[in-house]
Structure 1
Amino acid sequence: MTTLGTATAAPGELAVGRLTVGEARDGSEVALPVAVINGAHDGKTLYVQAVSDGDELNGVGVLQRLIPQLDPETLSGQILVTGIVNVHGFHVAEHRNPIDDTKMNRAYPGDANGTSSERIAAATFEAATRADLILDLHQGSTSRMIDETRVRCGHRHRLHRECLELAKVFGCGYILDQKGPDGQLARTAPDEGIPTVDPELGGSVGWDEESIRVGVRGVKNVLAHYGFVEGDVEVEPQTRATGFEQYGAPAGGLVAFHADLGDDVARGDPLFDVTDAFGTVKSTVTADSEGILWRTRRLPQVATGEYVCSVGTDIDEV
Structure 2
Amino acid sequence: MIETVFASELPVGERLLIRKHRIEGTAATPFGGEAAKRGHKPRIAVVTGIHGDELEGQYVAFKLSQILEENLDKLYGTVDIYPAINPLGINSIERSVPMFDVDLNRTFPGKADGDLTETLARAVFDDVSGADVAIDIHASNIFLREMPQVRINEISADELLPLAPLLNVDYVWVHASATVLQSTFAYALNTTGTRTLVVETGVGMRVTNAYGESLTQGILRLAAHLGAWGGDFVSAEPPIISNDGEVSYLNAGAGGIFLPEAEHGTMVKEGQLIGIVANALTGEVAERVVAPASGLLFTLREYPVVYPGSLLGRILKDVN
Tell whether the structures are fold-level matches, with TM greater than 0.5.
yes
SS in 1 for 2:63: helix
Unaligned runs of 5+ in 1: 1-14
Higher relative CO (Cα under 8 Å, sequence separation at least 6) belongs to: 2
Other-structure match for 1:44: 42
**Conserved 8 A contact 1:37-1:80:** yes
Other-structure match for 2:125: 125
- Call closer, same or farther: CA 1:315–1:52 in 2, change over 3 Å: farther
CA distance in 2, matches of 1:249, 1:116: 39
Other-structure match for 2:306: 302
Q: Percent identity?
A: 24
Q: May I ask how many residue pairs the two structures share in their alignment?
A: 299
Compute the displacement of 1:59 (Å): 0.5
Other-structure match for 1:18: 4
- Call closer, same or farther: CA 1:279–1:197 in 2, change over 3 Å: farther
Unaligned runs of 5+ in 2: 29-39
More helix by share: 2
SS in 2 for 1:305: coil
Other-structure match for 1:33: 19
- Call closer, same or farther: CA 1:112–1:311 in 2, change over 3 Å: farther
**Conserved 8 A contact 2:150-2:169:** no
1:105-163, Cα deviation, whole Å (9 max, x unpaired): 22221222223332222111111112010101111132443432323221xx2x42221
CA RMSD of aligned residues (A): 2.4
Letter of the 2:172 partner, please give it.
I
Other-structure match for 1:68: 66
Letter of the 2:222 partner, please give it.
V
Letter of the 1:62 partner, please give it.
V
1:167-206 matches, cutoff 5 A: 167-179=164-176, 180-206=180-206
1:286 equivalenced with 2:286 (yes/no):
no
Compute the displacement of 1:44 (Å): 0.8
Superposition misfits of 4+ residues, deviation over 4 angstroms: 231-235, 313-316
CA distance in 2, matches of 1:146, 1:17: 32
**Conserved 8 A contact 2:147-2:299:** no
Letter of the 1:286 partner, please give it.
V
Other-structure match for 1:212: 212
SS in 2 for 1:94: coil
1:251-278, Cα deviation, whole Å (9 max, x unpaired): 2211122322122334444433211116
TM-score by length of 1: 0.84
